[in-house]
Chains A and B, each alone.
Chain A
Amino acid sequence: MEKISTHTGIGVPLRASNVDTDQIIPAVYLKRITRTGFEDALFAAWRRNPDFILNQKPFDAGTVLVAGPDFGTGSSREHAVWALKDYGFRVVLSARFGDIFRGNSGKQGLLTAQLAQDDIELIWKVLENAPGTEITVDLASKTVVCDSVTAPFEIDDYTRWRLLEGLDDIGLTLRHESEITAFEAQRPDFKPRTLPVR
């Protein structure tokens, strides 16, 4: 995974709460067996509307999505993260994220920064008054700067560390392999197995 410390890019105000992962990527796009190539699927239903924010310049070139609360609820589909990344987004700002979506983002190097809703509102105003305004997100200091607005954000420490270091989760876990083996040796016999087929 690539290291992330700071990112600067055009902010996109998405004035909607409860943006579930079915909206981020509808189910019909989940049939591919690759991890890339989902950019056309991002917000596919909404993008059919010419007024949708990503159909407007300069927002179409945005890399920092500024969303309403409860972004990424619903389905566990990691395709939602792949679609955001394939489109070009590197950061999502929201007052609250769906748990699974936030976890998936952390594995894929999409930074999910949790801001107070009041700060989100201030940033929305800046972006709407001056489209194309860039947002700088600094993971080291956990701050977001958008023109006159400077706001702190929250992210769990473990994810932050992994993003800053660009660490692979599986590799980290495999450092504990001897403990996993020891744990397995003590599992009770009554726990079920799927194989052999009974």
Chain B
Amino acid sequence: MTEATTPQAPQATQTAQKPRTLAEKVWADHIVSKGTGLGEAAQPDLLYIDLHLLHEVTSPQAFEGLRLTGRQLRRADLTIATEDHNTPTLAIDQPIADPTSRTQINTLRANCKEFGVRLHSLGDAEQGIVHVVGPQLGLTQPGMTVVCGDSHTSTHGAVGALAFGIGTSEVEHVMATQTLPLKPFKTMAINVNGTLRPGVTSKDIILAVIAKIGTGGGQGYVLEYRGSAIRALSMEARMTICNMSIEAGARAGMIAPDETTYEFLRGRAHAPTGADWDAALAYWETLKTDDDATFDAEVDLDADTLEPFVTWGTNPGQGVSLSGNVPYPEEFGDENAKSSAERALTYMDLEPGTRMKDIRVDTVFLGSCTNSRVEDLRAAADIIRGRTKDPNIRMLVVPGSARVRLDAEAEGLDKVFIDFGAEWRFAGCSMCLGMNPDQLEPGERCASTSNRNFEGRQGKGGRTHLVSPVVAAATAVRGTLSSPSDLDPLDGPYAGIVQTSSANVTPNSAQHVA
């Protein structure tokens, strides 16, 4: 029983006939060794990994493991590292003040040097949040397997990759073997049809999905987001959705590649060119769920009626429409959900029945791997341009990467934020998880475009409401949780500017632009 099982011959005839989902196709194309046996002797499939992303927090113990066992990094040319979780967003030309953060960053630098890994360090134009950097370089492409020691690796599924977070033992495993033994997953279709209304974004779609299926609803599944509302989304908006798949318990979320995907990739630093592009495109076009394939589960969401969504509790499933109220724990039938709601309301210091829009916040955080790309910054800037910040609000704007910051500055977005009274910072994970100095004070309440409202996530005792970039911007104007439609019309030079969700919609779907 301890012997490794003999691999089976590829079963081409079988795979050619059975209708398959997108995820099943990508999986099948990466099987190095097919799992065998049933029951107690069952072995998982061994899957090849096309791209391994590293950052400073979950890699040091894995590099150490290689050293201790005398193993090599198998494919440095399929590995890339960036500094993001610990990095300061101010004074990045100075040594990092926190000695433990500094040690962790220095350890990554030494490890990358020793093992020959490409690293984008603080100060480099390509430095930034690992899930912003990968797509930005064109390194994440349709049909690839992508892993990283970070649960938000699901982000890369937006280009049609099978991308998922792994633990440090698995990081070491991929370093040593460029493979992972994995148990097959189940598949779930998330069908989102209809047209988003102005001011409603992909963030609202995913928050509504999580509220619907719960934080455990996706466990054991790969989610595939489908439907007309998904097709209409830009690449960056799709990343926001796939990013938060893990918040529904799913390790991965995917969207089949289409013209939007190809346009996004074309011309990027690591996108294929010439004959390689043609070969890649021919393959990418096969990466869609077959018409007669079946999913293990399906969930429907109506985009037409969706409103801006916001969380009231301490897990991402505890959300409501922004026009709604803080719920009463008694509304939850399940005893565990009820006690979880009671506990959350105590932590969040909220009274049941309070209108969400009456909740006053102290801080607005625009950033994180969920919502820190240039479209996100643009959408928020379009709301605040010509308006005045609530004087009691502190607003942090943290671009996802140094490149995003440069692009935003080229458009003058930095001036919009600075004129408004927001702080324009350098790139990193920042206040999403507060491993750097960007943290909430105990009791401080934050409208955050990040992905997790867990107790203490943004700083000990901090209280988080998850929102979209446009809701974050409107909230910074009014001081209370607000949607763009709550803002008074502008007069003066900005009069007549129509605010829409167009920044979140692809140019080739003009019917969605107001």
Chain A residues close to B by CB (< 8 Å): 15-18, 20, 22-23, 26-28, 30-35, 45, 68-70, 73-79, 81, 96-100, 103-104, 107-108, 117, 156-158, 160-161, 165, 167, 169-170, 172-177, 179-180, 183-184, 187-195, 197-198
B425 to chain A, nearest CB (A): 18
Which of A75, A97, A104, A183 makes the CB contact (< 8 A) with B169?
A: A104
The 5 closest A-B pairs by CB, nearest first: A104-B167, A107-B169, A78-B167, A33-B60, A190-B280
Residues of B within 8 A of A22 (CB): 433, 452, 454-457
Look across to chain A and name the residue whose beta carbon is closest to the beta carbon of B164. A100
Is B216 engaged at the interface, CB distance under 8 Å to the other chain? yes
B41 to chain A, nearest CB (A): 8
Residues of B within 8 A of A30 (CB): 57, 85, 435
A159 to chain B, nearest CB (A): 9
If A33-B60, A35-B64 touch, whether A107 touches B167 (CB-CB below 8 Å) is: yes
**Could you tell me which residues of chain B, from 14 to 48, have a CB within 8 Å of some CB in chain A?**
32-33, 39-44, 46, 48
A96 touches B219 (CB 8 A): yes
A23 touches B454 (CB 8 A): yes
A77 touches B64 (CB 8 A): no
B12 to chain A, nearest CB (A): 13
Which of B51, B150, B216 makes the CB contact (< 8 A) with A73?
A: B216
If A165-B2, A175-B4 touch, whether A103 touches B170 (CB-CB below 8 Å) is: yes
Assembly CA distance A17 to B339 (angstroms): 9
If A18-B340, A76-B58 touch, whether A70 touches B249 (CB-CB below 8 Å) is: yes
If A31-B100, A179-B33, A191-B50 touch, whether A76 touches B39 (CB-CB below 8 Å) is: no
Q: A17-B339, A173-B173 are in contact. List 10 more A-B contacts (CB 8 A).
A: A22-B433, A23-B454, A31-B103, A70-B249, A78-B167, A98-B219, A169-B181, A177-B177, A180-B177, A194-B270
A69 touches B151 (CB 8 A): no
A27 touches B4 (CB 8 A): no
B279 touches A33 (CB 8 A): no
Look across to chain B and name the residue whose beta carbon is closest to the beta carbon of A102. B219
Residue of B80, B150, B168 most packed against chain A (CB within 10 A): B168
B277 to chain A, nearest CB (A): 7
Look across to chain B and name the residue whose beta carbon is closest to the beta carbon of A156. B183
Assembly CA distance A189 to B40 (angstroms): 39
**Could you tell me which residues of chain B, from 384 to 421, have a CB within 8 Å of some CB in chain A?**
none
Interface string of B66-78 (1 = CB under 8 A from A): 0001010000111
B177 touches A173 (CB 8 A): yes
Is B197 engaged at the interface, CB distance under 8 Å to the other chain? no
If A22-B452, A103-B170, A190-B279 touch, whether A180 touches B178 (CB-CB below 8 Å) is: yes
Residues of A within 8 A of B343 (CB): 16
A81 touches B167 (CB 8 A): yes
Looking at B136-144, B200-208, B300-308, the stretch in contact with chain A turns out to be: B136-144
Interface string of B218-262 (1 = CB under 8 A from A): 011000000000000000000000000011011100000000000
Look across to chain A and name the residue whose beta carbon is closest to the beta carbon of B270. A192
If A96-B219, A157-B40, A169-B169 touch, whether A194 touches B77 (CB-CB below 8 Å) is: yes
B167 to chain A, nearest CB (A): 4
Residue of A18, A70, A157 most packed against chain B (CB within 10 A): A18
If A74-B246, A194-B78 touch, whether A176 touches B33 (CB-CB below 8 Å) is: yes
14 contacting pairs across A/B (C-beta < 8 A): A22-B455, A23-B455, A31-B57, A31-B101, A70-B219, A77-B57, A78-B61, A78-B168, A107-B170, A180-B48, A183-B48, A187-B50, A189-B279, A194-B77
B472 to chain A, nearest CB (A): 21
Residues of A within 8 A of B170 (CB): 103-104, 107
A196 to chain B, nearest CB (A): 8
Residues of B within 8 A of A184 (CB): 48, 178
A158 touches B4 (CB 8 A): no
Assembly CA distance A76 to B40 (angstroms): 27
B247 to chain A, nearest CB (A): 8
Which of B1, B79, B149, B177 makes the CB contact (< 8 A) with A170?
A: B177
If A173-B46, A179-B32 touch, whether A28 touches B435 (CB-CB below 8 Å) is: yes
Is B483 engaged at the interface, CB distance under 8 Å to the other chain? no
Residues of B within 8 A of A179 (CB): 7, 32-33, 46
Is B118 engaged at the interface, CB distance under 8 Å to the other chain? yes
Assembly CA distance A189 to B454 (angstroms): 43
Assembly CA distance A117 to B334 (angstroms): 12
A77 touches B58 (CB 8 A): yes
B460 touches A33 (CB 8 A): no
A27 touches B219 (CB 8 A): no
Look across to chain B and name the residue whose beta carbon is closest to the beta carbon of A168. B69
Assembly CA distance A32 to B4 (angstroms): 35
Is B179 engaged at the interface, CB distance under 8 Å to the other chain? yes
Assembly CA distance A171 to B7 (angstroms): 16
A130 to chain B, nearest CB (A): 23
Look across to chain A and name the residue whose beta carbon is closest to the beta carbon of B435. A27
Look across to chain B and name the residue whose beta carbon is closest to the beta carbon of A121. B335
Residues of B within 8 A of A169 (CB): 169, 173, 181
A16 to chain B, nearest CB (A): 7
B183 touches A158 (CB 8 A): yes
Residues of B within 8 A of A173 (CB): 46, 173, 176-177, 179, 181
B454 touches A28 (CB 8 A): no
If A26-B456, A74-B246, A158-B42 touch, whether A33 touches B64 (CB-CB below 8 Å) is: yes
Residues of B within 8 A of A15 (CB): 339
Residues of B within 8 A of A117 (CB): 336
Look across to chain A and name the residue whose beta carbon is closest to the beta carbon of B50. A191
Residues of B within 8 A of A165 (CB): 1-2
Is B329 engaged at the interface, CB distance under 8 Å to the other chain? no
Is B491 engaged at the interface, CB distance under 8 Å to the other chain? no
Look across to chain A and name the residue whose beta carbon is closest to the beta carbon of B147. A76
A174 touches B270 (CB 8 A): no
Residues of A within 8 A of B280 (CB): 188, 190
B46 to chain A, nearest CB (A): 6
Residues of B within 8 A of A194 (CB): 51, 76-80, 118, 139, 270
B378 to chain A, nearest CB (A): 27
Residues of A within 8 A of B100 (CB): 31-32
**Could you tell me which residues of chain B, from 94 to 110, have a CB within 8 Å of some CB in chain A?**
98, 100-101, 103-104, 107
A123 to chain B, nearest CB (A): 15
